[in-house]
């Protein structure tokens, strides 16, 4: 049985907001199927009583104060960041309409 | 060009101090050489001439004024294109960011600027650091300086090729599953992936945040140690960074201490699939290390064979989250895009902006995180990741350093593996476990290799967490007898 169907792939692409061409869909379906098959080897590993390793860090719950002026550590002015907007009106980031 | 070819950070610093040359003279020589050589190698995506000249002049001024300078003052470096330098393009070799200019500096860039280093330009890479050959770049194909028909490795292939062809004294790369060490091995240079948290990731375009680390690529282990020491340290802007204290032992290791280190050879890494030539080269490295009087013993890392699966589940999951931000609303928008509405802009931007590999990984990551499959894939992978880390913890009770190959083969031919993603992924099986476990690793060329005649092979030394001094120390003594 296939691990992933064409319908599932289409749905995933939609969730990831990636538009696929029909040709790419076919190739991707084959690639993903093969990779998922390879992942099947993990089924044989016994992980009972094993705590998941949820990240790479040894740090736990790193907090900072809300008034910590961390923004000052970054060498960009507000204008630098506004300048980088792909589309703007005055000092606002312009976003296309959500509803037509 | 012989002169540039021999230039290390160490030699450059001595020459600069003795006023044999100025930083500006050398920087100009580098650009002249790049102008010629890079037509063939295609290691750089963009050059930084005007700003680099200003940086070199500032370095020379500091020397003229007899200010305190560091070993990196005036040193011409190449920077991987996923590391932000304010005012310069940072494309991560993706069409997605073709029009993006960085608005701020990565923390490590600020650190290097404070030492008055010189940035020659930004280097080619696999798109968003996803790949093992630099063939996934949206812009150009970098060639291996040892054989122009072969890949330089990846994803930091541009940085490794630039150093190997003397188009920079040293470089910075990033390593998520082997992206510093594997190209270093393919190009006959040294590459260090530090312990997770040793170097700030602020200003690195993220691929997989629990695996990414920035590190140096250099001609010698000593140079790699110099660069590492200057970029390491806790950063307020990266809450996963750690205040590890690195002292003088990084740069001045003592042979009597190094001789006490025990080196382990994991039997799971010397397997079928390891190319004969690569295997023979690695054996030469083992013999040389023995000749230093170091004890070597066989060890076992039993969960090694699961590392590739675990990596491709965790990495793609993190990729799917990290790539979500490239939506055409922020950072950069494709020029031909005329959106009708918000959804339309997302679909078109991501559809045309991302190349095949980022698309494949984002979709695979979305799959392993989706509700019906989360337990079978992502959750399971996190648990096996713990087992892989436990393997290393157990091994490090018996030995101080683990020696392995870097990649199963030397550099392969351009186009050889592009059609089959799984085959390409296998190129990283010996480097991936370290990223999963968060450990430091270095790739060191087994010996000197002759260009257009031989293919370089590197061996990997794996250290305990934050014990970069062990692998850099042994590496420096290895360099001296090579």
Is B87 at the interface with chain A, CB within 8 A?
no
Among B333, B340, B350, the residue with its CB nearest the CB of A18 is B350
- Asked if B422 lies within 8 A of A34 by C-beta distance, the reply is yes
CA distance B112 to B171: 12
DSSP type of residue B377: I
The answer for residues whose C-beta is within 8 angstroms of residue B135's C-beta and 6 or more apart is B126, B141, B151, B154, B414, B415, B418
Q: What is the pTM of this model?
A: 0.97
Q: Which of B236, B242, B429 to mutate to test the interface with A (most CBs of A within 10 A)?
A: B236
Note whether B212 and B80 are within 8 A (CB).
no
User: DSSP letter string over B196-248?
Assistant: TTSB--TTB--S-TTT-EEEEEESSHHHHHHHHHHHBS-BTTBTT-------G
| Residues whose CB is less than 8 angstroms from the CB of residue B221 and which lie 6 or more positions away in sequence, other chains included | B190, B442, B444, B472, B475, B476, B478, B479
Whether the CB of B239 is below 8 Å from some CB of chain A: the reply is yes
Give the minimum alpha-carbon distance from B373 to chain A in angstroms, rounded to a whole number. Answer: 11
Residue with tokens 């050489």: B33
> B358: helix, coil or strand?
helix
The model's pLDDT over B199-210, given as tens digits with 9 standing for 90+, comes to: 999 999 999 999
Q: Render pLDDT for B102-126 as a digit per residue (tens, 0 to 9).
A: 999 999 999 999 999 999 999 999 9
Q: What pLDDT is stored for residue B452 in this prediction?
A: 95
* Residue A70: predicted pLDDT: 81
Q: Which residues of B are known to be catalytic?
A: 80, 155, 179
CATH T-level topology, domain B2-258+403-480: Amidase signature (AS) enzymes (3.90.1300)
Contact B240, B378 (CB under 8 A): no
Of A19, A73, A81, the CB nearest to B347: A19
Q: Which of A11, A96, A98 to mutate to test the interface with B (most CBs of B within 10 A)?
A: A96
Residue with tokens 């934050």: B466
Indicate yes or no: CB of A75 within 8 angstroms of CB of B105.
Answer: yes
Q: B409 near B270, Cβ under 8 Å?
A: no
d(C-alpha B325, C-alpha B354), whole Å = 12
Contacts of B210 in chain A (CB under 8 A): 54-57
Determine the Cα–Cα distance for residues B287 and B296; give it in Å rounded to an integer. Answer: 10
Chain A residues with CB inside 8 Å of B309's CB?
Answer: 38-39, 41-42
pLDDT of residue B371: 84
- A6-43 folds as Histone, subunit A (1.10.20)
Out of A16, A53, A84, name the one closest to residue B386 (CB): A53
**Which two three-digit tokens encode residue B120?**
């020659």
What is the Cα–Cα distance from B188 to A1, expressed in whole angstroms? Answer: 45
Question: Which residue in B105, B191, B213 sits closest to B461, CA to CA?
Answer: B191
- Please give the structure tokens belonging to residue B316: 């793609």
> Chain B residues with CB inside 8 Å of A34's CB?
422
Q: Which residues contact A93 (CB under 8 A, 6 or more apart)?
A: A82, A85, A87, B329, B330
Question: Does residue B109 contact residue B84 with C-beta atoms inside 8 Å?
Answer: yes
pLDDT digits (tens, 9 = 90+) for B41-68: 999 999 999 999 999 999 999 999 999 9
* B166 has pLDDT over 70: yes
Angle at B202 between CA B77 and CA A52, to 5 degrees: 120
pLDDT tens digits for B440-449? 999 999 999 9
Nearest to B96 by CA among B141, B43, B44, B138: B138
Cβ proximity of B203 and B106 under 8 Å: yes
Yes or no, beta carbons of A73 and B313 under 8 Å apart: no
% residues pLDDT > 70 (chain A): 97
User: Where along chain B do its domains lie?
Assistant: 2-258+403-480, 306-379
pLDDT cut 70: percent of chain B above it: 100
Question: What is the average pLDDT across A76-95?
Answer: 92
Distance from CA of B287 to the nearest CA of A (A): 34
> Which tens digits make up the pLDDT trace of B181-201?
999 999 999 999 999 999 999
Distance from CA of A65 to the nearest CA of B (A): 12
Chain B residues in contact with A100 (beta carbon < 8 A):
340-341
Q: Residue A52 and residue B386: Cβ atoms within 8 Å?
A: yes
ipTM value, please give it.
0.93
SS3 content of chain A, % helix, strand, coil (to 5): 45, 5, 55
User: How many angstroms separate the CA atoms of B349 and B33, rounded?
Assistant: 37
In 3D, which of B427, B472, B445 has the Cα closest to residue B146? Answer: B445
CA–CA distance, B384 with B369 (Å, rounded to integer)? 16
Nearest CA-CA partner of B180 in B444, B479, B448: B444
Out of A36, A41, A96, closest to residue B345 by CB: A96
Q: Does B211 touch chain A (CB under 8 A)?
A: yes
Look at residues B262, B335, B330 and name the one whose alpha carbon lies nearest to residue B293.
B262
> Torsion-angle region of residue B134: left (phi > 0), alpha (psi -120 to 50) or beta?
left
Compute the Cα dihedral for B193, B197, B198, B199 and give only its sign.
positive
């Amino acid at each position: 049985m296939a691990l992933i169907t064409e319908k599932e792939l289409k749905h995933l692409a939609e969730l990831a907001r990636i538009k696929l061409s029909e040709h790419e869909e076919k190739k991707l379906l084959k690639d993903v199927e093969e990779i998922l098959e390879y992942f099947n080897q993990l089924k044989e590993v016994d992980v009972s009583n094993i705590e998941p390793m949820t990240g790479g860090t040894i740090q736990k719950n790193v907090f900072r104060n809300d008034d910590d002026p961390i923004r000052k550590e970054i060498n960009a002015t507000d204008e630098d960041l506004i300048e980088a907007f792909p589309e703007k009106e005055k000092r606002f980031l312009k976003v296309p309409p959500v509803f037509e | 060009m012989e002169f540039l070819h021999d230039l290390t950070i160490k030699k450059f610093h001595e020459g600069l101090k003795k006023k044999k040359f100025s930083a500006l003279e050398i920087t100009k020589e580098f650009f002249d050489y790049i102008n010629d050589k890079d037509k063939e190698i295609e290691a750089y995506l963009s050059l930084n001439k005007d700003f680099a000249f200003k940086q070199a002049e500032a370095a020379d001024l500091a020397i003229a004024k007899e200010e305190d300078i560091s070993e990196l003052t005036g040193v011409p470096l190449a920077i991987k294109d996923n590391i932000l330098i304010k005012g310069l393009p940072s494309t991560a070799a993706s069409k997605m960011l073709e029009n993006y200019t960085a608005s701020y500096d990565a923390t490590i860039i600020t650190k290097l600027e404070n030492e008055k280093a010189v940035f020659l330009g930004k280097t080619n890479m696999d798109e968003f650091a996803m790949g093992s050959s630099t063939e996934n770049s949206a812009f150009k194909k970098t060639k291996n300086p040892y054989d122009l028909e072969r890949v330089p490795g990846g994803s930091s292939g541009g940085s490794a090729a630039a150093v190997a062809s003397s188009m920079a004294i040293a470089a910075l790369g990033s390593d998520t599953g082997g992206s510093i060490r594997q190209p270093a091995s393919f190009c006959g240079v040294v590459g260090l992936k530090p312990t997770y948290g040793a170097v700030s990731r602020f200003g690195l375009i993220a691929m997989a945040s629990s695996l990414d680390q920035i590190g140096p690529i250099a001609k010698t282990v000593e140079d790699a140690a110099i660069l590492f020491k200057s970029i390491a340290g806790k950063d307020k802007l990266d809450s996963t960074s750690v205040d590890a204290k690195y002292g003088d032992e990084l740069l001045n290791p003592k042979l009597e201490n190094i001789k006490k280190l025990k080196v382990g050879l994991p039997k799971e890494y010397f397997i079928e699939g390891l190319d004969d030539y690569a295997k023979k080269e690695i054996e030469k490295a083992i013999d040389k290390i023995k000749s230093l009087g170091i004890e070597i013993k066989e060890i076992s890392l039993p969960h090694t064979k699961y590392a590739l699966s675990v990596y491709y589940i965790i990495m793609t999951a993190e990729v799917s989250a990290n790539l979500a931000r490239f939506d055409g609303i922020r950072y950069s928008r494709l020029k031909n895009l005329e959106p009708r509405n918000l959804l339309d802009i997302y679909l078109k931007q991501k559809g045309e902006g991302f190349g095949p590999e980022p698309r494949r990984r984002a979709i695979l990551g979305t799959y392993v995180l989706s509700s019906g499959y989360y337990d079978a894939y992502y959750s399971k992978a996190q648990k096996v990741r713990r087992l892989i880390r436990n393997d290393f913890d157990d091994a490090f009770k018996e030995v101080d350093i683990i020696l392995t190959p870097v990649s199963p083969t030397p550099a392969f031919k351009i186009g050889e593996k592009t059609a089959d993603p799984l085959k390409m992924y296998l190129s990283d099986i010996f480097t991936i476990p370290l990223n999963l476990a968060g450990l430091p690793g270095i790739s060191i060329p087994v010996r000197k290799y002759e260009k257009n005649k031989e293919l370089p092979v590197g061996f990997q030394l794996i250290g305990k967490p934050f014990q970069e001094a062990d692998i850099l120390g042994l590496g420096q003594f290895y360099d001296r007898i090579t």
